[in-house]
Amino acid sequence: MRLEACQGDITTLAVDAIVNAAKRSLLGGGGVDGAIHRAAGPELLAACRLLGGCPTGEARITPGFRLPARYVIHTVGPVWQGGGHDEPTLLASCYRNSLALARQHGLRSVAFPCISTGVYGYPAEAAAQIAVATVLASLAEAGPLDHVYFVCFSVNDLERYQRLLAG
Ligand code: APR
């Protein structure tokens, strides 16, 4: 499996699934969530309404509608509250459960944003370490998944992921 960091707008990627850093209602918001809903079109919100929300740390899947990606995997990251509220475990669950859904659907390529590191305030370095470690830990699992992208919006995040992936 290849793990790769890249910089840009996740909504432009023609992968099997992009992951959305959603909120528990799954009814859209700002940041990457807003960008994904805008690019996918109103059908995405209609599909999300049918899901009835998603607890923190879990993941749900919908089609990608007007996106170049075939699917959107919606996961809800933890709000950073200082680190003593199970935030690391919940963030790792987001990556693990998103990958499990991708494998259940026979997907080969998945692109993650830096979950929880925007509005939800998770410190970027700690979040990136969890993201890389959790994806690496799932490498041995069976399935066709062979490409995971960490899509960074900022050059700081890109450099961070490149360093973690190299080391
Ligand atoms: N492509 C890739 N990354 C993006 C994009 C994009 N188009 N837009 C924003 N980002 C990056 C941000 O720079 C940040 O690094 O995604 C990361 C996650 O930031 P947020 O989108 O704020 O997500 P999060 O911190 O998980 O907060 C989730 O924000 O908009 C709401 O509905 C959402 O309530 C939920 C909360």
Residue in 95, 89, 119 with CA at minimum distance from that of residue 29:
119
Strand ordering across the sheet containing 109-112 = 2-7, 147-152, 109-112, 17-22, 71-76, 59-63
Quickly state the pLDDT bin for 7 (edges 50, 70, 90): very high
The model carries a pTM of 0.98
Alpha carbon of 84 to ligand 1 centroid (Å) = 22
In the numeric block, which tokens belong to residue 137? 């830990």
Give the pLDDT score at 140: 84
Per the residue annotation, which of 9, 33, 146, 157 is the catalytic one? 33
For ligand 1, atom 21, which residue shows the shortest CA distance?
Answer: 31
Residue in 88, 82, 74 with CA at minimum distance from that of residue 134:
88
Give the pLDDT score at 108: 98
For ligand 1, atom 24, which residue shows the shortest CA distance?
Answer: 116
Q: Which atom of ligand 1 is nearest to the CA of 30?
A: 30
